[in-house]
Each structure stands twice: as C-alpha cells, then as structure tokens.
Amino acid sequence: MIEMVQHNYIRFLFFNKGKSKRAIAKELGIHRNTVTRAIANLEPKYNLTVEQEKPVNGPFTEKIKLMIQKNYEKGGKERLTKTRMHELLQDEGYTGSYSAFTYQARQIEEELQLISKETFLKLLPRKGSLQVDFGEMIVLHQGKKKKVYAFCAKLCFSKVEFIQIYPSQKTEYFLEGLMACFAFFGAVPKIIIFDNLKPAVKTILTGTERELQERFLKFQSFYCFEAEFCGPGKGNEKGMVENLVKYTRNNYFLPFPNFTDFDTFNAELISKCQQRMKKGTFEGQPWVKLLLEEDFLPFTEFYDCARILEATVNTYQLIHVERNRYSVPTQYVGKKVQIRMYPFKVVVTYKEKVIAEHNRLFGRDNEILNPYHYLTLLKRKARAFDQAKVIHDWRLPPIYETYHRRLQAHRQSKAKGTRELIDILRLTEEHGVSTIAKILKELDEKNQYSYAEVLSLLRYQKDCTTGTGRLAEDELTKYHIENYTVTHLNLKAYDELTGRGA
C-alpha cells in the first residue's frame, strides 16, 4: 500500500496536470494498477484479495460464535464479560491473546448484528418528581468494616438532595426513608421514580406494569403520590439519583468514616444536605429558589411504617424476633403479643396496650432484658436475686449492694431484706438510679435502713420542705407502707440536752 504523500501526488498529476496513467506510472516507477486505484479512491486502501489464515482463532471460530450468541440471550447481570469468556476458552486449550479473541468477537458481533447502541432523548425535568434509590456503603464500627445502606433521593427539577443511612433495605427502612425525605422537603412529591425494589415491587409484569407489595400500596394510598418504576436493568431512567449514590460514596464514605450510631451519622448527613441545598445552583438558579417552584402535595402527618409480627412470650419472659430476644413484664408469660418493628425500636403490645419498648437489635442471638420487667417475679423468688442475670447486667452503683446487705441484717431475714430492696428499686424507674443512690448513701450514713425511710426522704427532697412531715394517706396506700416498720431514733440525747436547759 502506497503512502498518503505519493497517493496525493498521483491524484495531483492526473487531475491537475492532466497526465495519463501510463505517464504517471513511468514517471514514479510504479505499476499502472496502483495509479488506477489512487485515482479511484480518495484515500489509500489495503484490500485483501485472499482471506488470511487464522491459525489461533480458526479452530475456535464456531465455538466463539456459539458462546457469544448464548451470552447475548442471557439477562444483563448474567452475561459474561469478554475477559471471562477468554478465560473459559483458555481452559479448553485456546492459546490466542486477549486482543486476538476480542478482535474475533467484535467481527462475530457485527456479523450477527448484536452490537446496537441505545439512543436517548433529552428530557425536561418534571416539577414535583423525585428519584429514589439505595446504595451500599462501608463504615468503620469499632475498627471493623460494617456495611450500611444509603437511602438517596433527588428532586428532578430543583436538584435538591436527601441522604440517610439504614442497617438494611427492608420495608420499614424504605418507608422510613421516604417519610424522612418528605419531612426534609416539607412536602410530598407528586411523582416518585423507583427502581424495582423488593419493598415496593412484588412482581414485574409486561412493560411498565407492576404488581406492588401490599404495605407499599397502603403507604402510597396514605400520601397519594404517583409511583413510576424503571425497566429492568435500566438504571439510566433514574440517572440523577444513580449519580447521587456515586457522589455520596465518593464524598461521604471514602475513606471509610468512623461510625458510632445511626442517629448521629444521619444528623451529620442532614446537615450536609442542607449545606448543599444552600450552595447548589442549576443553570444559574439557586436550588433553594427552584425548590419553591416545585409542584408538591401537602405533608401533614407521619405514616406508621412498622412491620407487624406476632409472638408468644416464653417462660423466661422473652419474645424471639429476627434471631434476637426482648423482655416483657411477668404477667404476659404464655400470652400472644403483637410486635411492631420500627427502624430503630421495637414496641410490644397486648390488646392494643403498649407493654414494652426496646431499642432494636441488629445482630443475631442478642437480647435486651429490662430489669423492671423482672422485679415482680424476683419479689416472689427473692432467693434467686443474687444470681439473676438481669440484676448482674443492670450494673447498679455499689451502694445498692451495700444497702441490700444491711437491709437483710436489719430485718434479720435475707428474703425480707431482698423484697424491701426490690421495692426501693421500683422507685428508680420514676426517679432515676442516681437519685435513689444518693438517698441510700445519706441513709446509710445515718444507719437508717428501710423502704419507708427512702420514700420519706425522697418526698422531702422532692417537696423541698423544712421537715419530713407525715406521708399522705394516698401515698401510704400506693406504696403499701403499712407492711414495713420504721427505724426509731434513740431520744435519750434530747433528754440530756433539755436537762441542761438547752
């Protein structure tokens, strides 16, 4: 094949100088056919008259063709990459390089017309439309990597963003994320565009049709927004939020941030979203100004997004939920209770009455024992008090142990002293462990040991009176004060003082 300079000179001699092909060939010392090709073509071309042999790819041509055909019949996520196909062929004896394989593969794709690039249209953003998606993120919790899920939402018109993280993509977190998003915007977008998330989509039907989850339908009915779903594998249909997920990972989660708890981290993310909203602009217009032009529905109240389960309370006063255990009061042992699983708390009810509330556990085989749930049982089984796990886990200040032993000695009965301490422990639920601990220290210094004296001093401190006074009758009845005796002070000291004229 001749160089471009010579190709250009041949065409110059023929078209500009009017020389014949024979004269040009003689002058340049080349074949007349070369002159003819240069005149006929704008650029020099190399045309194969005989197809070259393919010593490496030849024996594998049909196999490569079949592999590519089958690969294109699979779904997007199941398709093999060309690197993986090359590795599989090498396992069968293929000795060609990766570039030789890809060259052959591209030729086959063109022959079978498998290469077709999708075309797109530029769309104007709709006011009041929101794109939503989850993205996996990594944080460091106590020095170890922990996976969390970022709920990302972006308004199509004003570009305002909202981000929160949750421990999973379960329905309660999905709905909680949407509600938190509505609260952040102060309104509900009229159109929300989703991926085919399991919390929302039960079955993908033909075209844009979807069979939706019942809980999502109830949520949608509550807020009256229109739900749109992307086609399978069509992440580009919600490209704004896809880019937001990448932005979130690159700017907020790399390098891996230290994580303490969800409330603290989410508060920081809200602050960052607010800063972005104040500073962000689109085509010269501030995001804040564009937000005022959005077409929203009113946001008036929060939806109860709890996942409702049922369980029977076992003989240890525990309910088992998601491989974890939570305590309930003694009187509900053997009864079937309803459990409301919120994103970060668990509420247990019996006949519409709330009987227990706990922070939600996210691991496995963990338990939360509320000591106040066990005080009634411990009062009946006072001998088990010292070995009860719930008491050991409570980690009360040392004064409680000291006061307990001296109560037992004063009552001359371990069981009676323990039961009286249990009544004192009940006071901590309302007044706090530290408040009662101070009272116990004060009474211990005066050698006064009884539930009645704790209650009396508590009332004195609460009412800020100049003297202890007598307890009201309703207080005596409320705390069963008639069941206890009071330590009497030795009054001989007063007699000695009065005898001296004091």
Residue range 403-433, pLDDT digits in tens:
999 999 998 999 999 999 999 999 999 999 9
- Counting Cα atoms < 13 Å in the Cβ hemisphere of 159 gives 17
Q: Given pLDDT bands bounded at 50, 70 and 90, which one contains residue 120?
A: low
Whether residue 169 contacts residue 152, with contact meaning beta carbons closer than 8 Å, is answered with no
pTM score: 0.66
Band (pLDDT 50/70/90 cuts) for residue 473 is low
According to DSSP, residue 76 is labeled: G
Q: Are 449 and 406 in contact (CB under 8 A)?
A: yes
Residue matched to tokens 């060259």: 103
pLDDT band at residue 483 under the 50/70/90 scheme: low
**Beta strand pairing call for 353-359 and 285-286:** unpaired
366 pLDDT higher than 80: yes
Confidence class of residue 388 from pLDDT cuts 50, 70 and 90? very high
Residue 502 has pLDDT above 60, yes or no: no
Put the strands of the sheet holding 318-321 in their side by side order.
318-321, 324-327, 367-368
Tokens of 248: 């979130």
Residue 49 has pLDDT above 70, yes or no: no
Return the pLDDT at 230. 85
Query: Looking at residues 447-452, what average pLDDT do you find?
Result: 92
The tokens for 393 are 């886990």
pLDDT at 38: 86
**Cis omega (within 30 of 0) for bond into 255:** yes
3-state secondary structure (DSSP) of residue 195: coil
Provide the 10 A C-beta neighbour count for residue 342: 16
Predicted local confidence at residue 7, as pLDDT: 82
